[in-house]
Amino acid sequence: MTKRKILVCGGAGYIGSHMVQLLLEEGHDVVVFDNLSSGHEEAIKGAVLERGDLLRPEDLEAVFARHKIDAVIHFAALIAVGESVERPDLYYRNNVTGTLNLLDAMRKAGVERLVFSSTAAVFGNPQSELIDETHPLGPINPYGWSKRMVEQILADYATAFGLRSVALRYFNAAGAHPDGLIGEAHYPETHLVPLVLFTAMGIREKLSVFGSDYETRDGTCIRDYIHVLDLASAHLLALDYMDSHEGFHSFNLGNGNGFTNLEVIETAKRLTNNDIPYEMTARRAGDSAVLVADSSRAKSELGWKPKFDDLETIIETAWRWHHDPKYGPFAGSKK
């Protein structure tokens, strides 16, 4: 393993903080760049924090001037599909313009490697049972389009400037670090697994399930859930992959298994031994009925091997963190 100095943009967020811990465990030096608008400083354990904003180029230039960075892992983005439909201006400005600012700063500093946090939302409505990298790209919401635009930018920068980059298209990130020290904490929370667990804890009176009339086995959306540490391990492998692969590359990351919203609720009820009241509500704009990954390319080319590849384990690690009074999302000042 080559020891590197890695800049993690959005490293105080959910996936970013797990990435930081894995990089540190593997012996890398880590610098976190985050505006802390949705991330949490207490989630950064052992890395240097540089507080700044992607929309301020001077912040980025200062970080690259202070640190000799070998590669960048870029998580910083707005991520709520529904909000992106209501406020596309925010999503294009933050996710696209912010990334362009980052790429400009990287070029000035001579940094030529980037791992990009992309999404299954670049595919839109699926045209096959499993989605691989050859599936047509057709986002159906501004969030997906913002990520698709960045992927195109990365491909163009590879051709024009020699940038090496890997886009990792996540399906549904879930779970928490098995040690229980860090987990998923968005305010407000929009993701299904933590919302289900908040309801199991009695923090929420009931859960809203968006849409009961999809063409699925129980009428609710089907999603492919992937453990956050398995996502982080793919980023680590992507850093090595770029050593021997020029240009832009994309990989889909998921388990290849889809679960309906109601199946997630029932699994959580069984694991927590708590009731989880819910109500069926209208569909959300921009939601696809089914999103399930074919990740065979990541396994064959990156050597990626998910370790937490069943829904029960994913939810169990999330539950361990969520109801921990010391480290969970409502610990300390967050109560």
**What is the C-alpha separation between 146 and 92, in angstroms, rounded?**
6
Listed as own residue / partner, the contacts of 266-271 with beta carbons closer than 8 Å and 24 or more positions apart are 267/311, 267/312, 267/315, 268/193, 268/196, 268/197, 268/200, 268/315, 268/319, 269/200, 271/312, 271/315, 271/316, 271/319
Block residue for tokens 């596309």? 88
Tell me which of 91, 92, 143, 157 is the catalytic residue: 143
Spatial separation of the C-alpha atoms in residues 2 and 118, rounded to whole Å: 25
What residues does 148 pair with on adjacent strands? none
Report the C-alpha dihedral over residues 50, 246, 121, 86, rounded to 10 degrees.
50
For the chain, counts of helices (H) and of strands (E): 11, 14
> Quick one: tokens of 55?
């929309």
Neighbours of 212 (CB within 10 A): 17
Instruction: Choose among 95, 51, 102: nearest CA to 73.
Output: 102
Write the DSSP assignment of 89-134 as a string of letters: HHHIIIIIIHHHHHHHHHHHHT--EEEEEEEGGGS-S-SSSSB-TT
Please classify residue 234 by burial: count the beta carbons closer than 10 Å to its beta carbon, then call 0-12 exposed, 13-18 middle and 19+ buried.
buried
- Which among 44, 158, 151 is positioned nearest to 99, based on CA atoms? 151
Contacts of 333 (CB under 8 A, 6+ apart): none
Exposure on the CB side of residue 78, measured as CA atoms within 13 A: 27
143 is catalytic: yes
Residues with catalytic annotation?
A: 143
